[in-house]
Amino acid sequence: MNEKDRARKIKMIIMDVDGTLTDGSLLILPDGEELKSYNVKDGAGILLAHLAGLSTGIITGKTSKALEKRAEKLKISDLYQGILNKIEVLSEILDKNELKPEQIAYIGDDLGDLEVIKTVGFAGAVADAHPEIKKHSHFICSKTGGKGAVREFIEFILEAQDKWQTVKSGFKDLIDRRERL
Ligand SMILES: [Mg+2]
């Protein structure tokens, strides 16, 4: 099966955070709080996926209040933070949403993502992902983590599903409502 056939079956897109939705940088404040930056292009991509009728989720090893707020703003339905064993959470997500692994797309960057990458129907790696992740992924982004890789992955799925032209027309509205990105 080629990558387009795989992408056509997707109903839900799940993402890693550090190194995938971010470039992996952490700014540590004196009180220990961590700051990271997210990319508006990825945020817009997530909204486009929702416009196309796909749902989204996040599985991350770290925990942050800021991510909770961002996920809420972007209406990401499944947010799992502080997760050491991502494959266990994947099973939970499959049960909860009544989906099969081939209906899930997942994008990640490092070894903690490997088991999930090997399990889902359509796996993506950011351009600067670990070689092992790239080896087992069906789609390798030209963009790096935090620099629009997630957007690229989502657009590929929407194009494969012939939904890109439809959701693109809604793009201007999204830009007008920029505060939501
Ligand atoms: Mg990561």
CA of 170 to the centre of ligand 1 (A): 30
Inform me whether the pLDDT recorded for 179 exceeds 70.
no
180 pLDDT above the threshold of 60? no
Question: How many Å lie between the centroid of ligand 1 and the Cα of residue 106?
Answer: 12
Cβ contact 124:139 at 8 Å:
yes
State the distance from the centre of ligand 1 to the C-alpha of 6, rounded, in angstroms.
23
Exposure string over 39-74, b if 16+ CB within 10 A, otherwise e: bebbbbbbbbbbbbebbbbbbbbeebeebeebbeeb
Kindly tell me if the per-residue pLDDT of 37 is higher than 90. yes
CA of residue 42 to ligand 1 center, whole Å: 15
**Choice between 55 and 168, residue whose per-residue pLDDT is larger:** 55
pLDDT at residue number 181 = 54
Q: What confidence tier does 171 reach under pLDDT thresholds 50, 70, 90? A: confident
Span from the CA of 64 to the centroid of ligand 1 (angstroms) = 14
d(CA 159, ligand 1 centre) in Å: 25
Instruction: List, in sequence order, every residue forming a beta bridge with 15; answer none if it has no partner.
Output: 58, 107
Distance 165 CA to ligand 1 centre (A): 31
Domain boundaries, the chain: 3-180
Does 49 score more than 80 pLDDT? yes
pLDDT by residue (tens digit) across 1-28?
899 999 999 999 999 999 999 999 999 9
Per-residue pLDDT, averaged over 33-41, amounts to: 93
- 152 to 7, 87, 94, 96: CA distances (angstroms): 13, 24, 24, 27
Question: Could you tell me the distance, in angstroms and rounded to a whole number, from the CA of residue 19 to the centre of ligand 1?
Answer: 4
Task: Kindly give the distance from the C-alpha atom of residue 173 to the centroid of ligand 1, in angstroms, as a whole number.
Answer: 31
- pLDDT confidence of residue 174: 65
User: 175 or 14: which carries more pLDDT confidence?
Assistant: 14
Distance 18 CA to ligand 1 centre (A): 4
Q: In the prediction, which pLDDT does 175 show?
A: 67
What is the CA(62)–ligand 1 centre distance, in A? Answer: 10
- Domain 3-180: CATH superfamily is HAD superfamily/HAD-like (3.40.50.1000)
Q: Mean pLDDT, to the nearest integer, of 143-151?
A: 98
Name the pLDDT band for 50 (thresholds 50, 70, 90).
very high
| 148 CA to centre of ligand 1 in angstroms | 15
pLDDT at 178: 62
Q: Give the tens place of pLDDT for each residue, 62-90.
A: 999 999 999 999 999 999 999 999 999 99
